[in-house]
Chains A and B, each alone.
Chain A
Amino acid sequence: MFYRHLKGHIEALLFANGNPISADKFAEILEIDRENVSLLLEELKQDMANSERGLTICEVADGYQLCSKPELVDIIGRLVDVHEARLSQAAMETLAIIAFKQPVTRLEMENIRGVKVDGVVSTLSDRGLIHEVGRKDAIGRPILYGTTDEFLKCFGLKNLDELPNLAEFIDNNEKP
């Protein structure tokens, strides 16, 4: 590996940015190709796993992000009271409908849940988990909703392609 000296560069970039950085972006900044970026990231991740380090790299929202290791959640919890703003059951159900069925209109969500979803949809919007993705070609041109990158980050998903697998998983679990 010729680019091993760039591992530190990658670590620094991840630290400085905070948000996930895509492989393309790394390739552009470091002026190396994508395959080498992936290799370097993998190696860096290994380094972090092997030694007594507190950080790791996770893949999320089509990028890589520096974060604390999951097993250290309790120790971080001692630092501060982690502020929790839980999503209600109604919000989770609606979000699930949007995530798996997107793009989807309010009416379609209401038909599944059997209740109005106006309040829940605006909560999810305010949280930045969903946004408008267009208008449906139907009477009244209703707004179509879809999930955001923030949604991927919140739920630790690499991209939306991970979702249909989940749908299958649910169907399989339903009918034993």
Chain B
Amino acid sequence: MDDYKIKLESFEGPIALLMHVIEKNQVDIYDIPIAVVTEQYLAYIRAMEKFNIDIASEFLVMAATLLQIKSRLLLPKPPAMEQLTEEVDPRLELVERLLEYRRYKHAAGLLETLLHQREKLFSRPPRDFGTRLVLPDGLKLDDLIEAFAAVWESVVDEFTFIAREEISVQDKMQDILQLLRKHNGRMEFNQTIIRSGSRVELVTAFLAMLELIRLRRVRIKQDNSFGPIFLMMGEVVQ
């Protein structure tokens, strides 16, 4: 029954569609029969809707433009306006856009032709003149064996034991008290680092200092944040 078929070409945009309508009707681009063109343009949009093609907003903007031009052509101009302004064809702006679009559409066709011509020619891809690997000269089998032997020997397991430094807080507390006595009961915290100077010693020394403070064996004084900490003998608690 339904022998009515629409071959829907996909249109990139409203201008492409409008151009298609104009070309199909073979009308003069400088004198577009706006009523016919608008009607057909809208028919296309409706067909697109029917086929559930999402219509981009640009298509609708163009539809509105066409309708506006159509109405402007239909409506009589107010007499005052007629005298004031020179009559400008409301289609003019649209025609200019269409002409420019057509120019580039033709240019695209021309590029396409050039491309086809060029595609008949085959050329080589540029050669990669990268690094050329050069093998060393004058090597003998002995050299290889020697090299292998050298590698073989170097793989012998060799271990070195690194003793872990064990400093107890207890030891460090003794250190601090001894040092304080040596320094006449007053010294800087930095001076308690007397062994390996490792992070472990530093932390231990700090813990030892805190412990000594708790036991009231030492007192500390720090004038400002991150400044040097001074340790002093605390009052001896019996």
Residues of A within 8 A of B (CB): 15-19, 56, 58, 65-71, 73, 76, 87, 89-90, 92-93, 95-97, 99-100, 112-115, 154-157, 166-167, 169-171, 173-174
A69 and B127 CA atoms in complex are apart in Å by 20
Residues on A with beta carbons closer than 8 Å to the beta carbon of B13: 113-115
- Find out whether the CB atom of A173 lies under 8 angstroms from the CB atom of B111: no
By beta carbon, the residue of chain A nearest B128 is A18
**Chain A CB within 8 A of B46 CB:** no
**Chain A CB within 8 A of B184 CB:** no
Provide 23 A-B residue pairs closer than 8 Å at the C-beta atoms, listed in order of the A residue. Answer: A15-B124, A70-B117, A71-B120, A73-B122, A89-B108, A90-B12, A93-B104, A95-B111, A96-B105, A112-B100, A114-B13, A114-B58, A114-B62, A114-B101, A115-B13, A115-B15, A115-B58, A155-B114, A155-B115, A156-B114, A166-B107, A169-B110, A174-B103
Contact with A along B108-135 (1 / 0, CB 8 A): 1111101101111111111100000000
A65 and B97 CA atoms in complex are apart in Å by 40
Closest CB in chain B relative to A102 CB, distance in Å: 12
A58 and B156 CA atoms in complex are apart in Å by 65
Closest CB in chain B relative to A163 CB, distance in Å: 9
**Chain A CB within 8 A of B16 CB:** yes
- Find out whether the CB atom of A93 lies under 8 angstroms from the CB atom of B105: yes
Among candidates A16, A69, A71, A97, residue contacting B104 with C-beta atoms closer than 8 Å: A97
Residues on B with beta carbons closer than 8 Å to the beta carbon of A114: 13-16, 58, 62, 97, 101
By beta carbon, the residue of chain B nearest A15 is B124
A100 and B102 CA atoms in complex are apart in Å by 13
Residues on B with beta carbons closer than 8 Å to the beta carbon of A97: 104, 107
Among candidates B56, B97, B111, residue contacting A155 with C-beta atoms closer than 8 Å: B111
A18 and B126 CA atoms in complex are apart in Å by 4
Residues on B with beta carbons closer than 8 Å to the beta carbon of A71: 120
By beta carbon, the residue of chain A nearest B119 is A73
- Find out whether the CB atom of A67 lies under 8 angstroms from the CB atom of B121: yes
B97, B100, B110, B114 — most chain A CB neighbours (10 Å): B110
B side interface size, CB within 8 A: 35
Beyond contacts A19-B126, A70-B121, A166-B110: 6 other A-B pairs, Cβ-Cβ < 8 A, are A89-B12, A95-B108, A114-B13, A157-B114, A170-B110, A174-B103
**Chain A CB within 8 A of B24 CB:** no
**Chain A CB within 8 A of B106 CB:** yes
- Find out whether the CB atom of B56 lies under 8 angstroms from the CB atom of A115: yes
Residues on B with beta carbons closer than 8 Å to the beta carbon of A95: 108, 111
CB < 8 Å A-B pair total:
106
* Given A18-B126, A96-B107, A170-B103: A154 and B15 interface contact (C-beta under 8 Å): no
A95 and B115 CA atoms in complex are apart in Å by 12
**A-B interface, 6 closest residue pairs, ranked by CB to CB distance from nearest:** A115-B13, A156-B118, A114-B15, A70-B120, A96-B107, A67-B123
* Given A18-B123, A18-B125, A113-B12: A96 and B104 interface contact (C-beta under 8 Å): yes
Residues on A with beta carbons closer than 8 Å to the beta carbon of B119: 73
A113 and B15 CA atoms in complex are apart in Å by 7
Residues on A with beta carbons closer than 8 Å to the beta carbon of B108: 89, 92-93, 95-96
- Find out whether the CB atom of B122 lies under 8 angstroms from the CB atom of A99: no
* Given A115-B58, A155-B111: A173 and B121 interface contact (C-beta under 8 Å): no
Among candidates A17, A89, A156, A166, residue contacting B117 with C-beta atoms closer than 8 Å: A156
- Find out whether the CB atom of B127 lies under 8 angstroms from the CB atom of A16: yes
A70 and B122 CA atoms in complex are apart in Å by 8
- Find out whether the CB atom of A170 lies under 8 angstroms from the CB atom of B117: no
- Find out whether the CB atom of B111 lies under 8 angstroms from the CB atom of A96: yes
Among candidates B12, B121, B126, residue contacting A68 with C-beta atoms closer than 8 Å: B121
A115 and B122 CA atoms in complex are apart in Å by 35
- Find out whether the CB atom of A173 lies under 8 angstroms from the CB atom of B115: no
A76 and B102 CA atoms in complex are apart in Å by 36
Residues on B with beta carbons closer than 8 Å to the beta carbon of A56: 121
